[in-house]
Amino acid sequence: MKRGRFSVVAQWGLLPSAICVLSSIASGQVSTLSYTGTLGSPQSTFEVTFTLAASDTVTFKTWGFGGGTNAAGQAISAGGFDPLIALFTGPLATATIYLDGSGNPVADADNLLNAPWSYVGNCPAAGTVAIGANHDCGDDLMQVALPAGTYTLLLTDANYQPGAIYSGGAISQPFVDFTGGGTQFQTCDPLANACINPNGHYAVDIISTKADLRGKCDVNQDGNTNAADVILVVKEGLGVTQPINDLSGDGAANVVDVQIVVNAALGLGCAAK
């Protein structure tokens, strides 16, 4: 069962519909990607691919469990599931778990113990939730020094864990399912001997203070993935303009690429290769 941030944590390494708000500000100021949405089940996942234009310490925060105000200034209600976030290097199709300088996977959840990324008390600005007599923090906070490059962030229920965090492998590896195949999200505090059933809502920020955060789906590179990018790719597919955005890697600009940008504009992640 899931445990609150102030409760006992599991040992590390012993087991084998969204909306996006982007804000890229002038050089030297904050650049952010903010995603909100709902997972359909405890075995669902959310992934987003982004590009960091220059090296920087990047901050990753979730808000869906305890609520708060995200980097886009949106008020996030408490009541969502207790999340896990894990950082991968490369685009979604070939992403592999990102390892820090000590060879540790960069992943955070309240039932992992892989310091400094996950540990008791690693609670961001998000609020706490009452579970029985206790108030638990389930949201995640990571600050990671990263070189320029392309990365993929994975978000799941904390009890549905990517196998890659145990083996150092690819995001495509099977997940380790501690949900018991349940159809409801559940968070328990064993000290309070109580459980709650949150909803599937999530909210996650990616924040850089020095470098632009961009995705390949931001076709016009204006810091926003929206209808303007969809129109550009549609024109390429129709032959109106030069077909330069083969986002799927199939050798052509076509309806597949349009769908990739539409999904990204809806906040469902950028699956460009």
* pLDDT of 157 strictly over 60: yes
Torsion of Cα atoms, 246 then 248 then 253 then 259, to 10°: -130
Residue 15: band (very low, low, confident or very high) from pLDDT cuts 50, 70, 90: very low
**Cα 86 to Cα 100: distance, rounded to the nearest angstrom:** 12
pLDDT in tens, 89-124: 998 889 999 999 889 999 999 899 888 888 766 677
Residues 98, 105 contacting (CB under 8 angstroms): yes
pLDDT in tens, 52-91: 888 999 999 999 999 999 988 899 999 999 999 999 999 8
- Higher confidence at residue 75 or residue 246? 75
Q: In the block, which residue shows the tokens 């890697």?
A: 249
One-letter identity of residue 48: V
DSSP strands (E only) in 118-259 = 129-131, 134-136, 141-146, 149-157, 160-162, 175-177, 187-189, 194-196, 201-208, 213-214
The proportion of the chain whose per-residue pLDDT surpasses 90, expressed as a percent, equals: 49
Is 261 strand, coil or helix? helix
One-letter identity of residue 223: G
For residue 17, what are the contacts with CB-CB under 8 A and spacing of at least 6? 37, 38, 266, 268
pLDDT in tens, 180-202: 888 999 999 999 999 999 999 99
Instruction: Determine the pLDDT at residue 8.
Output: 28
- Alpha carbon of 118 to those of 43, 73, 111, 219, 235: distances in Å? 21, 26, 8, 35, 46
Instruction: Determine the pLDDT at residue 204.
Output: 94
The predicted model scores a pTM of: 0.76
- Higher confidence at residue 246 or residue 143? 143
Residue 25: band (very low, low, confident or very high) from pLDDT cuts 50, 70, 90: very low
* pLDDT of 23 strictly over 80: no
* pLDDT of 140 strictly over 50: yes
Nearest to 112 by CA among 156, 72, 78: 156
Residue 163: band (very low, low, confident or very high) from pLDDT cuts 50, 70, 90: very high
Instruction: Determine the pLDDT at residue 265.
Output: 78
* pLDDT of 152 strictly over 60: yes
* pLDDT of 16 strictly over 50: no
